[in-house]
A and B are shown apart, each in its own frame.
Chain A
């Protein structure tokens, strides 16, 4: 216990940075969920499976077609978005007027089907995907060794999160989007194609999950279960941030990543629990979440 106070600062900095990396990754995943929930009121439980799909598509692209990482990181999110659009059009559209629970159960089932199919084809042990040569190696920081690829994850995640937030909150397109989900009938009366907006929004949110999958492929085992392990954590983050709050999801993702990193340092056994403890506390004190609007 004596060492608690004189923990070397370098060690702590290292943990903070690692937490920030994971946090930016959480932010990217929870952003997709928050967009889909905030704008469409769909609780997308297939998000984890689509993240897994992104990683698998990147692997398949390389293995079967020789398509490298740099192409995959552009193309795969688009394919995942397209699959998301199909799910929205074919499966979610017919139940769009039902209770939210229907879409929750439907997407949960879709997620399980994806997971089952991939387990059947590729087995449960996972596959490996090499870190692209351009991003190999790392930097020697005074307090730790930072792999280049982890730096790349922070960069891409924060860039995409920032752009998305800007697009939705500050541009005209974003205003249409928000208005279209607020009062679809009125917007349609103005001549705006609301169903199209809904479909594209769903596709975009899901595409973010695909992007996260490609980013994860080189550092985590590409396995059918990679999504289900993360999904619940990401949901907790969205709840803490305030269901549907775009900025809230991003900021909470970062904070929770850091908090989790610190827990792994001080009491690793609790590292998968800490986020849920925070969730319970937040729900008790501020049921709408940290950044959510009370109705």
Chain B
């Protein structure tokens, strides 16, 4: 971490003086402090991790490093994909380090624990990479902003067109924890709504190495589509087994949540041709290419969607502080919801009353080996899915919106 000692000392003194005035107008603690909480060295490190820190740093630098004349500071920590670890860090940040907003936020379990705390303390949770839609429905909070994507958008983007094209029978291979269940639940609903049926599911424990048994079950189920409601190495391993056992020759296999690092990790012969939904792709147009090039120069790889999302939401957050004239959470959130984010990432975007950021999503196809001009050239964008189609209407499940 960068050490700017006089400033840190100053901010520490400032924090000590201003605790009683923390909710008054202006900048609490005389500094705007953003905490990046993510899995830094575990299975999800590549999809947010240090890349999210880089993205937030870029956003702060591009913003000029200060807002309303006060410096912007970034702290980061490793939640190890553990809800209790993430919660302890969040509590420490908010209680003793005067952090104003927590971003990053990857594993849905960690995000669930952290958003409870931010709600209790009245600070913002800017969710970049989590998938569950709970944070803007049954576990919503006036302090949540959920950016990049969620399970609803994945199901609407990937599952719906396939069912509508006549693939009616679905089999799910699901990661057996909160995220997988949420994804399977939402996707099954989309299947049923469009006249399809779910012919079977297999709930595979997180971190299963060998998926061949589940692939055989899927094979004998007579399904038209086998959907992989999992992520990371579970996705890679299950898809590899599906190809190896010849499942892909007779049946469509749909990856419901695929991040660019996972797609890059797969042999084009295995993954080529698969369609999926993403919230961002670096090679969309000049704007995305320009930002992604800068990101790659600093971080070493192309941005995953949550990393681009982290930049976008940090920028929107800082703009809102500037306009609100304070870093007080509710005032800032009001401006964030009132003003539309618009940058290389957020297209036709707005932050809905329940905290869901609605923006264009993309249906992409993983390129075959012969179509790729370089190792980063992995997706072909086939269709832009308008935000409202992807994220669907706001559900009547969020208590603070309903009470308004």
Contact = CB atoms under 8 A, between A and B. Distances in A.
Interface stretch (A170-178, A216-224, A244-252, A278-286): A216-224
Contacts of A19: 213
A128 B265 contact: yes
Contacts of B45: 119, 123-124
B177 to A, nearest CB: 10
Nearest to A137: B246
A125 B301 CA distance: 12
Interface residues of B, number: 43
Interface stretch (B147-155, B199-207, B283-291, B321-329): B199-207
Interface in A189-238: 219-221, 223, 225-226, 229-230
B233 A225 contact: yes
Interface stretch (A38-46, A66-74, A97-105, A142-150): A142-150
A268 B216 CA distance: 13
B242 to A, nearest CB: 11
Given A15-B216, A147-B244, A261-B213, A126 B204 contact: no
A220 B245 CA distance: 13
B240 A125 contact: no
Interface string B47-58: 101000000000
Given A19-B213, A123-B45, A125-B262, A269 B205 contact: yes
Interface in B281-322: 301
B205 A271 contact: yes
Interface string B19-49: 0000000000000000000000111111101
A272 interface: yes
B232 interface: yes
Given A15-B216, A225-B233, A219 B240 contact: yes
A220 B210 contact: yes
B213 A264 contact: yes
Contact of B214 (A147, A225, A264): A264
B241 interface: yes
Contacts of B214: 264, 268
Most buried by B among A8, A123, A127, A273: A123
A21 interface: yes
Contacts of B244: 131, 138, 147, 149-150, 219
A25 B47 CA distance: 30
Contact of B46 (A125, A149, A219, A269): A125
B209 A15 contact: no
Contacts of B267: 128, 130
B41 A119 contact: yes
A272 B265 contact: no
Contact of A126 (B49, B202, B220, B236): B236
Interface in B237-274: 237, 240-241, 244-246, 259, 261-262, 264-267, 269-270
A21 B212 contact: yes
Contacts of A132: none
Contact of A271 (B204, B219, B237): B204
Contacts of B245: 138, 144-145, 147
Contacts of B96: none
Contacts of A230: 209
A30 interface: no
Nearest to B217: A265
Nearest to B221: A11
A290 interface: no
Nearest to B266: A128
B243 to A, nearest CB: 9
A110 interface: no
A116 interface: yes
Most buried by A among B202, B233, B267: B233
Contacts of B203: 268-269
Contacts of B47: 125
B176 interface: yes
Contacts of B397: none
A3 to B, nearest CB: 11
A4 to B, nearest CB: 14
A269 B176 CA distance: 7
A272 B208 contact: yes
Nearest to A119: B41
B237 A22 contact: no
Contacts of A269: 176, 203, 205
A219 B205 contact: no
Contacts of A229: 207, 209
B43 A225 contact: yes
A14 interface: yes
Contacts of B261: 123, 125
Contact of B202 (A116, A268, A272): A268
A14 B259 CA distance: 32
B205 A124 contact: no
A18 interface: yes
A138 B212 contact: no
9 contacts: A15-B216, A123-B261, A128-B267, A138-B246, A150-B244, A220-B210, A264-B202, A265-B213, A273-B205
8 tightest CB-CB pairs across the interface, nearest first? A264-B213, A125-B261, A221-B236, A128-B267, A272-B205, A124-B45, A125-B265, A125-B46
Given A18-B213, A123-B301, 7 more contacts: A11-B217, A119-B41, A126-B236, A147-B246, A223-B43, A230-B209, A272-B207
